Amino acid sequence: MGEVKDWRPFVYGGVASITAEFGTFPIDTTKTRLQIQGQKIDQTFSQLRYRGMTDAFVKISREEGLRALYSGIWPAVLRQATYGTIKFGTYYTLKKLANERGLLTNEDGSERVWSNILCAAAAGAISSAIANPTDVLKVRMQVHGKGQHKGLLGCFGEIYKYEGVRGLWRGVGPTAQRAVVIASVELPVYDFCKLQLMNAFGDHVANHFISSFIASLGSAIASTPIDVIRTRLMNQRHVSITMNGVVTAAATPKLYSGSLDCAVQTIRNEGLPALYKGFIPTWVRMGPWNIIFFITYEQLKKY
């Protein structure tokens, strides 16, 4: 029975992540569209089509239909089934191991911040690296909206055929970095706030709501610049034309050589504020996402 119980954080984390994803995905689609627009070195996305989150939501709904707001939902669900399951399960498992070895708590019983951060960062990096292909699929399908008729398997096949395995791992560097930042901020802040508010609210929904809202703000501030870079790298194609097994030409230009190059070119061509494109939908989404996730997770823990 003890072994079964050890798997519960993984299962609960996955179920809670998927539930939160369904509830907030349209906001994520507006964020992705905002982050890829205005790239002066990429004529495809050089135009500023949307003025903000609300404008993007209205225009996508009007021009492409409501279904376009959920383009990429299935790779997103698949991502949460892997990323969410591994991240939260690993985090709480590492905390349990640290506690057993006396590394988690101080003499007064309070949890060590550095121990929480290390557990969260390790969990975030491992899970995001494993789930990166699903993230690439999600971004590609969100960007194309109604123009993406291939579906999950079709999109996967196209990337694999024209870009190879490397195409599925595009942007894995900033993806892992972003996950480390979010996990290092979000989970420890949530646990800290929950502990501090325990006397006032107890271990109830009001506590989970306030703690998750505070955690999401810090997470959005810290992670948005990396998220912009990650999204742009994932959306960029580097398709090679081959004849008789020999590469003859590159069908699309490679805009960015890596994370640093993307950051430098983005700032140079669009200004420093460009690194915070999509901040509002990022925060607006993180709030409800975390609230749905943590409340679902806490309720599942009771069973």
As a whole number of angstroms, the distance between CA 141 and CA 158 comes to 12
Q: Is position 260 within any domain?
A: yes
Domain with 193, as residue range(s), is: 7-302
Q: Supply the pLDDT for residue 2.
A: 44
Q: Is position 1 within any domain?
A: no
CATH number of the domain enclosing 206: 1.50.40.10
Q: Is position 240 within any domain?
A: yes
Q: Is position 100 within any domain?
A: yes
As a whole number of angstroms, the distance between CA 301 and CA 67 comes to 33
Q: Is position 2 within any domain?
A: no
**If you ran DSSP here, which 8-state letter would residue 47 be given?**
S
Q: Is position 274 within any domain?
A: yes
Tokens of 107: 């003499």
pTM attached to this predicted model: 0.79
How many domains, the chain? Answer: 1
Q: What are phi and psi of 237, to 5 degrees?
A: -100, 150
Q: Is position 23 within any domain?
A: yes
pLDDT in tens, the chain (303 residues): 444 456 777 788 788 888 889 989 999 999 999 999 988 877 788 888 999 999 999 999 999 999 999 999 999 999 988 887 888 788 888 988 988 888 888 878 777 878 888 888 898 898 999 999 999 999 999 998 765 557 888 899 989 988 899 999 999 999 999 988 887 788 788 888 999 999 999 988 888 888 888 888 888 999 999 999 999 999 987 655 555 554 443 455 667 889 999 999 999 999 999 999 999 999 888 878 877 887 888 888 877
As a whole number of angstroms, the distance between CA 17 and CA 290 comes to 9
